[in-house]
Amino acid sequence: MKKVCALVLVAALMIPGCAAMQENKKTTIGAGTGAVVGAGVGYAIGGGKGAAIGAVVGGLAGGVIGHYMDKQEREFKQALAESQAREQAAIMQGVQREKDALIITFKSDVMFDTNSSVIKSAAYASGEIDRVAQILNKYPDTTIKVAGYTDSTGSESYNQQLSEQRANAVKNALVVKNVQAARISALGMGESNPIADNATEGGRQLNRRVAIIIEPTPQAGQAQPQG
């Protein structure tokens, strides 16, 4: 057992040495995690030697996926910076990273009129939906969840229905921009999971949002990005 642990540790320390994995701390973490998981699988198959091989393979896979998501994160943050630099109201609210997942947030009140799930023409005119779709198409080895949220004004059942309709509207807008429908799922979260205080107008405005959660597939990074 000690020999197996030593092999896992050595492999985990070796993986971050790859040049591609030095580019971002998250990539290095992904490589180390992949090494440990790969070692466990390898040991189950081939004992100590299998653990060493599995650690290397798993580490490489984790690092490649992390690097793949790093590049997307940079492009989305660049798109957000350009959006915020423009004078007109931007629909993009933020870009977050949760391990290997990316969360892109749209301002629901900028995209939709009150009590409506029809995307405003101004939201299309801003070009941000096009930019998001272009990046999603460039990195096809991901799954996409579109989640709609509301503030707490109105009944819970109405808010649930409105959030579902808005999530589907954003999904359909991405499909029109040639993002594969099979990659996208839409769900309504209603007034659940607020990110600000619903007692204030500013808080309610932040809670009215649509989030796009982008997660890598196991094949992520094995092919060159498109575009």
Domain assignment present for 187:
yes
As a whole number of angstroms, the distance between CA 150 and CA 144 comes to: 20
Tens digit of each residue's pLDDT (9 = 90 or more) over 83-93: 877 755 678 88
Same domain assignment for residues 24 and 112: no
d(CA 127, CA 83) in angstroms, rounded, equals 9
Contact of 173 with 125, CB cutoff 8 Å: no
> Over the stretch 145-169, which tens digit does the pLDDT of each residue have?
999 999 999 999 999 999 999 999 9
42 shares a domain with 143: no
d(CA 202, CA 196): 8
Residue ranges making up the domain that contains 90: 86-216
Domain membership of residue 207 (yes or no) is yes
CATH number at residue 109: 3.30.1330.60
| 12 lies in the same domain as 98 | no
Q: Does residue 185 belong to any structural domain of this protein? A: yes
**Residue bearing the bigger pLDDT, 49 or 134:** 134
In a domain, 195, yes or no: yes
Q: Which residue has the tokens 């790859």?
A: 18
Structure confidence by residue, pLDDT tens digits, 51-67: 444 444 444 455 889 89
Q: What tokens does 186 get?
A: 């839409």
CA-based max dimension of the chain: 63
Percent of the chain having pLDDT more than 70?
69
Q: Can you tell me the mean pLDDT for 62-91?
A: 85
Tell me how far apart the alpha carbons of residues 28 and 88 are, in angstroms, rounded to a whole number. Answer: 38
Radius of gyration of the chain (CA): 21
109 lies in the same domain as 187: yes
Within this chain, do residues 8 and 95 fall inside the same structural domain, yes or no? no
| 14 and 110, same domain (yes or no) | no
Check whether residue 64 and residue 102 sit in a common domain: no
User: In total, how many domains does the chain have?
Assistant: 2
- Tell me, what DSSP letter sits at residue 192? -
- Would residue 101 count as lying in a domain? yes
